Amino acid sequence: MKNQTKPSQIERFREAARGHEADEDEKRWEKRLRKVAKAKPEPEKPE
């Protein structure tokens, strides 16, 4: 039996993200995150 090491949690996460075709470009991630963070919630309408 060969000495096999288990992949770390981050390695498993990255592999799963690649399987779902996630974008690994950090600059695009930051751009998208800023877009979401800037979004203001709509005011609640009184009933």
Per-residue pLDDT, averaged over 21-39, amounts to 82
The four Cα atoms 35, 26, 17, 38 give a dihedral, to 10 degrees, of -10
At a CB cut-off of 8 Å and minimum separation 6, what does 17 contact?
Answer: 24
Mean pLDDT of the chain: 81
Evaluate if pTM is beyond 0.85. no
d(CA 39, CA 21): 25
Per-residue pLDDT, averaged over 25-41, amounts to 82
Given a cut of 60, is residue 1 above it in pLDDT?
A: no
What whole-number percentage of the chain has pLDDT above 90?
9
